[in-house]
Each structure stands twice: as structure tokens, then as C-alpha cells.
Amino acid sequence: MSSDRDLAFPEAEYARRIDSVQAEMGRRELDAILVFGPANLFYLTGYETIGTANFQLALLPRAGEPRLLVRELEAGLARHGTWMSGEPFIYADDEKPVVRAAEFIRAAGMDRARLGLDMSSPFLSVRTYRALAEALPALDLADSSGVVESVRRIKSAAELDCFRQAAGYTAAGMAAAVAEVRSGATDNEIGAAAAQAMYRAGSEYFASGPTVTTGRRSGTPHTTFQRNRVEPGDAVLIEIGGNHHRYTSPLMRSVLLAPASDLGERMYRACSAALDAAIAEMRPGAIASDVHMACQRVIDEHGFEANFRKRLGYGVGIGFAPTWGEGTFLELSKVDHTVLQPGMVFHLPPALRLDGTLGVGCSETVAVTESGAEVLGSFPRELVTA
């Protein structure tokens, strides 16, 4: 590997990933796969760009190295930010990317192969699929959904170290955000404090957030800062995540302003107790739905079943905007019967909301270990009142 390469991991880490994915390709009898999504591209090759809206892909044969197809502007990144020995295949801005993709496949000798495409990827459009099928009629196109994700589910020691680094950035951001909460402050100021502290601590650009929602808006899921001032008696719900080599360790905490709502305090205690119960259930061999139900039972016992009818949590790993999550292929819900294994990492955010009134919650990022579970961070979970 050339000394001018800028890689997140040693080459041996990429070799392990490629070997595991190629083994899965063999089980599915695929000669090669096309990889489209930025998280999968980063996982297999190290290629990382903020230009994720550009057409780009990698072709991975059942044996040998992957090769990238990228926009000409991205060629430098594709050379210096990846571990492979081969040159990237490029297209110019005045060329049709799909036409070049067909030429790329022909040049690789795969135009008559059984070629897997991730048909669940939002980065593979119907138009692209049809264009490839028309340009290469001898191709045997197969669905390779989940081939890369089946390997990504289990994190290596190197990946877990990234989560621990990210958790430190997140803690710095949460401390700054909580310190900024006061009557008269805006949700923008709280979010800005979190972002600045995480960047100063070492975080790279975020996959999502920060999320800061206050007052009655805190009772509405997936709202965030919008120049709203914090008022006495408000709840402030904060969810942020620092990022290290695209790995995010999210964290959710809540603040209640005086005069603190008794209902808000009871809701927060239920969330924290439910989170403890879920973490206690996490170990190798546990079933994802059982972890969810450990949380749900505590919520129900506190009388808030009607306010918690969502999954408990989801996998986290490589994150590009708009999400840090891997919930499309790993989650903790009442209908998911995945067997937990060492190396799986989840974000568990139990939150309770009364629409248009208030919302509170708390979370941890948790890794399954050989002996149980490791909370990847140490930020205090006590309810903050201000």
C-alpha cells in the first residue's frame, strides 16, 4: 500500500471484510456484485466523499479486488482514499454515467456474468437498473441485497474503537448542550453549542443532527431546532452523535426547566428504568425481540404503553447523511427475532412523548460483548433540571 493513502483502517481490516463478503457471494452463486451505497463503498474500499449524490459504484468479483467507477472530479479521492492497487474507472460530466457503467462491466469481463445488484439500495434507481439490463442483455442480474450488510452487522475490534472515540466527542457535545439550556435560550443556541463542542473535540462531519426540540415541540417526534426560545416549565430533548471515521455513538438526554413537570419527571424515570432493563437483557444468544420487550414491560408498568409503540432501537455503524443508523438491516423490535452476537452495536433510545405537550427520553449506544453488553460512553443519565 502506498504511503500517500489516507485510510481509516489497516489494509488487513479491508481484506477481512472483502473475504467475508466474497464468501457470502459464493454461497449465493454470484460471480460479482455492484455496490452503490456510500456506507457499503466506504466499508469495502475506504472510499469516502461528501459528494454522495454523484453516481458511483464498485464492482466486486468473487475473487480479487474491487474496482471503483466514479465521477472524474472524484478520481483523486478514489486513488488516495482507498486501499486497492487498480485505477478507478471514471466518467466525465459530459458523459452518461450509466453508459460508462456498462462499459466498465464489459471491461471487467462481467457482461455475461451472474451479477448481483442491491435492489434494496436507494442509490440504485429503477432507471439505472433498466438501462444496465438493456445495455447488457446477456447479464444474469440477481438481487444481492444484504450481501455486504450481513458482514457489516458484526463490528471488528477496530470498528469498536471508532465507536469509543466517537462517544467521547458525543459526551463533549452533550455537556455543552446541557450547559446552554436556560430560560430564554433558543434551541439553535443549544444545538450550536453541541455541534461546536463535538467538532472541537475531534468529530468529523455529522451523519445526522444535532436534534434539539423544546417545549410543546418536544412531544412531536423528529422535530429539531427552529429558532424557538426555551420557556419556564419546558422540556428540552437533545439527541446528538459525534463521528469518528463515519462511526457514530448517538446519545439522547433531557432537561426539564423549573417549574419542572411532575409528569415529565415520571416519564423520564420510566425511560431510564426501561433502558436499564433492556441493556441487562443484551448478551450473545439473546433475541432482539426479547430485548425490546424487556424495555416495553417497564414502560407499561409505569403506565405509558400508549406513548411507546415503536421499536426500542436499531443498529449503528457507518453513517452518511441523513442517518447514522443501520436500522434497515438490524433492529430491536417486537417482531425482530435476530439472535444477538458479539460485535453487534445498537442505539437504544426509549422516549415518551405527549403530542403537542412534552417529550423526554434518554439513550445509550451499546455493544454486545462475549460476556454481555458494553455501554459505549459514560455520560451521566440523571435527569437534568434547570
Instruction: Check residue 325 and give its pLDDT.
Output: 93
> What average pLDDT is seen over the chain?
96
Express each pLDDT in 313-368 by its tens digit.
999 999 999 999 999 999 999 999 999 999 999 999 999 999 989 999 999 999 99
Q: Report d(CA 76, CA 26) in Å as an integer.
A: 32
Q: How would you classify the pairing of strands 364-368 and 345-348?
A: antiparallel
Question: Could you tell me which CATH number the domain at 157-385 has?
Answer: 3.90.230.10
* Stretch(es) of the chain classified as CATH 3.40.350.10: 11-152
261 confidence band (pLDDT: 50, 70, 90): confident
Under 8 Å between Cβ of 54 and 95: no
Mean pLDDT of all residues in 193-217: 97
Q: Which pLDDT does position 186 carry in this prediction?
A: 98
State residue 2's pLDDT score: 47
Residues of the chain with CATH 3.90.230.10: 157-385
pLDDT band at 3 (very low <50, low <70, confident <90, very high): low
pLDDT digits (tens, 9 = 90+) for 105-148: 999 999 999 999 999 999 999 999 999 999 999 999 999 999 99
SS3 of 170-234: HHHHHHHHHHHCCCCCEHHHHHHHHHHHHHHHCCCCCCCCCEEEEHHHHHCCCCCCCCCECCCCC
- What are 281-314's pLDDT values in tens digits? 999 999 999 999 999 999 999 999 999 999 999 9
Report the topology of domain 11-152.
Creatine Amidinohydrolase; Chain A, domain 1 (3.40.350)
Straight-line distance from the first to the last Cα atom of the chain, in angstroms, rounded to the nearest whole number: 54
Q: What percent of the chain has pLDDT over 70?
A: 99
If one counts every other C-beta atom within 10 angstroms of the C-beta of residue 248, the result is: 31
Q: Is a pLDDT exceeding 50 seen at residue 165?
A: yes
Q: Is the pTM of this model over 0.85?
A: yes
Confidence of residue 1 (pLDDT cuts 50, 70, 90): very low
The average pLDDT across 370-374 equals 97
